[in-house]
Amino acid sequence: MGLLSTLILLPILGAASLHFIKDAKTAKIYTLMIAIATFAISLIVYMTYDNAGVGYQFMERIPWISSSTLSINYVMGIDGMSLMLVLLTTFLMVIALIGTWNSQDKKVSGLMALLLLLEAGMLGVFCSLDLFVFYIFWELILIPMYFIIGIWGGERRVYASLKFFIYTLAGSLFMLVAIIWLGLEAQKISGVFTTDLSKLIGISASLPVSTQNYLFWAFAVSFAIKVPLFPFHTWLPDAHVEAPTVGSVILAGVLLKMGTYGMIRFNLGLFPDASIANASIMSILAVVGIIYGALVAMVQTDIKKLIAYSSVTHMGFIVLGIFSMTREGLQGAIIQMINHGLSTGMLFMMFGMMYERTHTRAIEKYGGLAKITPKFAVFFAIAMLSSVGLPGLNGFIGEYLTLMGAFQSPVLNSWSYAILSSTGVILAAVYLLWMYQRFMMGPITHEENRKLTDLTNREMVSLVPLVVLMVWIGMQPMHFLKTTEDSVNKMSDGLIRLKTGAVAAPSMNPYQIVDPKVQVK
Amino acid sequence: MSYQDFIAALPLIILAGTGLLVMMWDAFEKIPSRMPIVLTSLGSIAAAVVAYTNIGHNNVAFDGLFFDNTTSHFFTIVFSVATLLASLIAEKYLKGEEVLVGEFSALSLFAATGMIMMASGASLIVTFLGLETMSICFYILSGMFRRRAESNESAMKYFLLGAFATGFFLYGIALLYGSFGTLSLVKMASMGGAATDNTLVLLGVVLLLIGLLFKVAAFPFHQWAPDVYEGAPTLVGGFMSTAGKAAAFSSLILVGNALMPSGAMGGKVQTLIAVVAAASMLYGNIVAISQKKIKRMLAYSSTAHAGYILLGVAAGNQQGMTGIMIYSAVYMLMQTAAFGIVALLEKETGRGLEIDDYAGLAKRRPYTALILAVIMFSLAGIPPFAGFFGKYYLFLAALNANLLWLAIAGVISSIIAAFFYLRIIVLMYFKDSAHDEVSQEKFDISFVAVGLTTLAVLAFGLMPNLLLDLVTYAVK
C-alpha cells in the first residue's frame, strides 16, 4: 500500500477504533496522536516529493469496479498543488485539535471520530485522480460535517446543517451527471467506461465547445457552491456561525479549498476551451464576491459572521487568480488557499477561544480586551493582519500574485478585474481593522470582561506554529511556490497558448516577481 | 423435461415444498411454536444457495416455459434473501401472536414462489400465474392482523385495486396472444416482437406495463401503496415493497426484452416509460416530505425508488438491465432494513410509527439509530453506501440512452429526497426525545438480521463488484 493510501486509511481506522474509547480525555489524546501520525506521514511525502519531477507522483492504481464495459480504478497521486493542500489539511487538523482541546465536553469520542473521518475525506479529495473516487470522497465529507454542525453546533444548528448538506448535495449531483457523461464519452472512443482523470483529459478537451460548456458548468456550479462563490455563498455564514469552533476551523481552513482545488484540477484541466470562454463570467462573479463579501462583512455585529464573510472575499481572490490562467494568478491562487487556511483558520480558532470564555459572539460585548488579555491581542492582531494582506505576512503574497495575474491576463484581457478587486484589499483593511478596534482597543466597556484570562500555554502551543508559517510564507514564499511551480506553469502555458497561440513570456516567471527583495523596495 | 429443468426450478420447488411443510406443521402442532420460522429460514437459505450455483446457465427449461438464466436466478436470490430476512424479523415481530407465525411463514414462502415464477416466466401464462400467486398471498398477508381495522382495510383496498390491475395484465396477454398466436415470450421475440408497429401488439404491451407498474407502485398507479403499507403489518409492508417490487421489475425486464417496440412506435413507449419514471421520482419524493408517519413516508419514497429503477427500463440498454438488477437487490436490502427497524421499534416500545417518535433515538438506542442513519443515507444515494452505486448505474444507463433530461429529473428528485431522509437523522441525532423512556436495545436475532443487512449495504457500496459480477453474468 502506498503512502497516500496510508495517509487516508490511518484516520479512517482511527475513527473506527474510537468506537471502543468512551473516556473523553483518552479519546482526545488518541485522536491527537492519530492526527500527528498523519501529519508525520504527510511530511514524509513532502520530503520525498521531487519538485523537479514531471506529472503526478506517488501514483497508486488498484482496480476497483470492473466489468466488460466498465473500469473504475482507485487511482491516487499528487502534484505540487495537492501536496500543499494535503499538508495544510494534516497540519490544521493537529492545530485545531490542540487549539480547541477543552471546547467540547459532550460526546467527545463521537466528535473525534467524525473529525478523523472528515480528515480522511479531505485527503481523499486532494489525492484521488479518478473522478468517481473523487466524487465519493467529495460526498463522504458531507456526512461528518453535517453531524459536526448538527450535534455540536449553536442554536440554529439544525437549519444550518441541513442547508449545508442540501446545498452541497445539489451542486455535486450535477457534477455526478457530468462525470458519467465524460465516462460515456470515453466509452464511445475506447469501448470501456472509465473515469480515470489521465484518460479523460485528452477526451474532454476534444469535445465540441458547446458540450464542454455544459460539463464545465456542471462542475463549476458544484465547486462554486463549495468555495463559495457569489451568489452561492448563503450557506456559509449560517454554517460557520452555527458550527463548533473546530468545525469552523476545518470548514474555513480546508473544506472551502476543495472547491478551488476542483476548479483548477477539473475545470481548467478537463475543459480548457470552455474555461477560456467562461473565464470572464467566473471572474466577474469572483470580483462581485470580493466586494460584496467585504461590504457585508463591514456591517456584521457577529464576529463569526464577519470572519465568514471575509472568507467570501478571500476566496473570491482565489477564483480570480484561477481564471486569470496566468502563472502568477494560479500560483497566487494556490498560495492564497494555504494563506486563507492559516489566517482564517486562526481567526476562527482564536475567536473560539474567546467564545469559550465569554459565550457571546456579539462584537459590542467586547472592547478594550488588549488591556486584559495582551497575549491574545497580539496573536489576534497577527492573524488579522495576515488576513488583511500586510506585506511581510503571507496574505500579501497571495493577494499580490492573484491581482498581478488578473492584471496581465490575456484571457481576461482587461485591467478592470484587478482594479475593482484591489478595492477588496482596502475594504478588508477597513472591516478587519475596525473589528479589531472594537474588539481589542479602546476603554474596557464591559466590566465582566475584566475577569477574562489570557491565553493558556496550550492555546499558545496551537497558535505559534501558525504564526511561524505566516511569517515564513510572507518572507520566503519561493520555498512554497517552487513546489507547485512545475505543474502550474505547464497548465498555465497550455491555456495561454490555446488563447493567444503564444507561450507565456519568460519574464512572467514567478521567481522574479515574488522575489522578497523586490517587495521590500 | 430433463434433469436440468428440475435443477433450474429447484429453488422454486424448495420454497414451495417448505411452504407446504410449514402449513402441515402448523396444522398438526399442538402448541404454536417457532418451528415455522426455522423451516422458512432454512428453506430460503437453501433456495438462495441453489439459485447461486445455477447462475451462469442460459437455457429455457420445461419446453419454453421457464427461463433458466442468470437474470432469473439473480432475482431468485433476491427473493429468497428477502424471505429469509422477513422471517428473521418475524421472529420478534410476531412474538405473542404465535398463531400467526405459521400462517405468515407459509404465505411468504408461497409469495416467493410466485415471484420466482414471475422472474422466470418464459410464457406469459407462467408470469401471470406467478403474479397471481404472489398477489393473493399479499392480499391475505396485509389482512393478517384480523382484529385490527386498518389491517383489514389495507387488505381490502389492495385486493380491489390489485384485482383491477391484474385485469389489465390479463387483457394485455389476451391481445398479445391474439396478435402472435403464442404465449411464449421467446417466440414473440423471434417474430419480431413489437417491431411491426402493430397497434394490437402495442396496446397489449402497454396493458402489460400498466399491470406491472401497478405492482411497483409507479406514478400514477401508486395510490394504493401508502394506505396499504400503513395499514398492513409493518413486517408485511416491508416484504411487499421490496420483494414484490423486485418481482414486478424482473417481469418488466423479460417483457421489455421480448416486446419492447423498436419500430416507429418504440420511441413513444420509451417516452411513456420515461415520463412515468420522472413523474414517480418527483411526485414520490415531493409528497414524502409532508408525511408524518414513517410508513407512509417510506411508501411514497418507494414510489420514487420505483421511478429510479424505471430509469433503467426506459434506457432499455444493457446498462439499464444491470442497473435494474443491482438497484432491485440493493433497494430490497435498504427497504427491508428500514421497515425492519420500524417493525422492531413498534414491537418493543409500542411507538415508532410517527416520524416524531424518532426524536432523540440516538440517545436511547444508539445502534438502532446508527442503522437507520446508514439506511437513510443509502436511500438518499450518498456514497459510500450501496444506494449510491445503484443510482449511479441507473443514471449511467439513462445518459447512455441519451435520456439526459431524465437523468437530470433523477438528480433533482434526489436532492428533494435528501430533505426528508435527513429529517429522520436530524430527529434521531439533533433533537431530544419528548418521552424519557429508557429501554435497552436487545440484540436478538431479528435485530442482528437487520444489522447484517445494513452491513451488506455498506459492503456492496464499498465493493460493488460483489454484485456487479453476479449481475453481468446475465447481461453478457
Chain B positions contacting chain A at CB under 8 Å are: 318-319, 322, 377, 382-384, 388, 392, 395-396, 399-400, 404, 407-408, 411, 414-415, 418-419, 422, 426, 429-431, 464-465, 468-469, 472, 476
**Partner-chain contact B422 A162, CB within 8 Å:** yes
Condensed to tens digits (0 to 9), the pLDDT of residues A352-391 reads 888 888 888 888 888 888 888 888 888 989 999 998 888 8
For residue A516, pLDDT over 70 is answered with no
| A206 vs B385: which has the higher pLDDT | B385
Instruction: For A396-421, give one letter per residue: b (16+ CB within 10 A) or e.
Output: bbbbbbbbbbbbbbebbeeeebbebb
Q: Which one of A136, A161, A177 has the shortest CB-CB distance to B383? A: A136
Amino acid at the residue A137:
F
CB A254 within 8 A of CB A88: yes
| A271 vs A502: which has the higher pLDDT | A271
CB A304 within 8 A of CB A361: yes
For residue A54, pLDDT over 80 is answered with no
**Partner-chain contact B429 A174, CB within 8 Å:** no
Secondary structure letter of residue A19 according to DSSP: G
**pLDDT in the model for residue A497:** 80
Q: How much is the average pLDDT of B213-231?
A: 90
Candidates B408, B413, B425, B432, partner chain A, best to mutate (most A CBs within 10 A): B425
**pLDDT in the model for residue B299:** 93
| pLDDT range class, residue B197, cuts 50, 70, 90 | low
Nearest-neighbour CA in chain A from B340: distance (Å): 23
Q: How much is the average pLDDT of B379-399?
A: 90
Low-confidence winner among A87-91, A480-484, A502-506 (lowest mean pLDDT): A502-506
**pLDDT in the model for residue A506:** 44
For residue A504, pLDDT over 70 is answered with no
| pLDDT range class, residue B261, cuts 50, 70, 90 | low
| pLDDT range class, residue B262, cuts 50, 70, 90 | low
Q: Which one of A65, A132, A139 has the shortest CB-CB distance to B468? A: A65
Q: Which one of B395, B418, B429 has the shortest CB-CB distance to A177? A: B395
For residue B112, pLDDT over 90 is answered with yes
All residues of chain B having their beta carbon less than 8 Å from the beta carbon of residue A68 are 472, 476
Chain A positions contacting chain B at CB under 8 Å are: 64-70, 132, 135-136, 139-140, 142-143, 146-147, 150-151, 157-158, 161-162, 165-166, 169-170, 173-174, 176-177, 180-181, 183-184, 187, 193
Do the strands B58-61 and B66-69 form a parallel or antiparallel pair, or are they unpaired? antiparallel
| B292 vs B30: which has the higher pLDDT | B292
**Partner-chain contact B392 A180, CB within 8 Å:** yes
Give me the DSSP letters along A426-447. HHHHHHHHHHHHHHHSSS---G
Backbone phi, psi, residue A20, to 5°: -90, -5
**Partner-chain contact A180 B396, CB within 8 Å:** yes
**C-alpha distance from residue A251 to each of A18, A90, A180, A237 (Å):** 22, 14, 28, 11
How far is A243 from A157, CA to CA, in rounded Å? 7
Condensed to tens digits (0 to 9), the pLDDT of residues A251-260 reads 888 999 999 9
| pLDDT range class, residue B10, cuts 50, 70, 90 | very high
How far is A470 from A295, CA to CA, in rounded Å? 26
For residue A31, pLDDT over 70 is answered with yes
Condensed to tens digits (0 to 9), the pLDDT of residues A108-159 reads 888 888 999 999 999 999 999 999 999 999 988 988 998 888 888 888 888 8
| pLDDT range class, residue B193, cuts 50, 70, 90 | low
All residues of chain A having their beta carbon less than 8 Å from the beta carbon of residue B396 are 180, 183-184, 193
**Partner-chain contact B396 A193, CB within 8 Å:** yes
Q: How much is the average pLDDT of A67-78?
A: 84
| pLDDT range class, residue B167, cuts 50, 70, 90 | very high
Q: How much is the average pLDDT of B194-201?
A: 71
For residue A106, pLDDT over 60 is answered with yes
Q: How much is the average pLDDT of A278-286?
A: 90
For residue A513, pLDDT over 60 is answered with no
ipTM: 0.85
Condensed to tens digits (0 to 9), the pLDDT of residues B18-64 reads 999 999 988 888 787 888 899 999 999 999 999 999 888 888 888 88
| pLDDT range class, residue B435, cuts 50, 70, 90 | low
Query: In angstroms, what is the C-alpha Rg of chain A?
Result: 22
**Partner-chain contact A135 B418, CB within 8 Å:** no
Q: How much is the average pLDDT of A500-513?
A: 51
Condensed to tens digits (0 to 9), the pLDDT of residues B268-288 reads 788 888 999 999 999 999 999
**pLDDT in the model for residue A486:** 79
Condensed to tens digits (0 to 9), the pLDDT of residues B298-349 reads 999 999 999 999 999 888 888 888 899 999 999 999 999 999 999 988 888 8
Distance, first Cα to last Cα, chain B: 26
How far is A430 from B61, CA to CA, in rounded Å? 82
**pLDDT in the model for residue B265:** 61
What proportion of chain B, given as a percentage, has pLDDT over 90? 46
Name the residue of chain A whose CA is nearest to B422's CA: A162
All residues of chain B having their beta carbon less than 8 Å from the beta carbon of residue A161 are 426, 430
